Amino acid sequence: MTGPLPHISSISLGYALAVAASILWGLTYCLDEKVLSNLSVFKLYFLHCLCGMLVAGAILLCQGSSVASLFTFDTTRSSVPLMLLTLVTATTAALAILSSIQLLGANKSAVLEISYPLFVALFSVVAFKGQLELPVIVGGIFIFIGSAIIVLAH
């Protein structure tokens, strides 16, 4: 033990952060549903992005990044087309889920959106030659079927 807290492995921390994200996304969906009754999807998304930019920028600056470095990218370390593609897909996904929350409500939207692990597994294999393990396939199928059952029951 090197400090007042016991050593936490990066894997344990990863699990804790994933659960924290799940809890916070659950709260965010419910809050977004209420906010979207009086605000457009695009305004709310703009505010989400603005808040994210301010928080991430402040953290990067506290970590020693210069202001100029926040707006430059090392193209030797990452693929610019891949970076642009992830920005477009993340933006489209965020706008799609906010629109879905506005149209269907947080509960139905979340149940449908939670089927994404199946698509993560499929895209990782198809686009990036990742390994697909049987438990991931079975779990993804169960999530997808469970989502369909819940949505069709309403």
Domain annotation covers residue 1 = no
Report yes or no on whether pTM surpasses 0.85.
no
Task: Give the separation between CA 31 and CA 24, rounded to whole angstroms.
Answer: 10
Report how many domains make up the chain. 2
42-55, pLDDT tens digit by residue? 999 999 999 999 99
Contact 108, 99 (CB under 8 A): no
Are residues 19 and 81 both part of a single domain? yes
More confident residue, 29 or 135: 29
Q: Number of C-alpha atoms within 13 angstroms, CB side, residue 5?
A: 3
> What mean pLDDT comes out for the span 124-134?
86
The per-residue pLDDT for 4 is 54
Are residues 94 and 40 both part of a single domain? yes
Are residues 95 and 25 both part of a single domain? yes
52-102, pLDDT tens digit by residue? 999 999 999 999 999 888 888 777 666 888 888 999 999 999 999 999 999
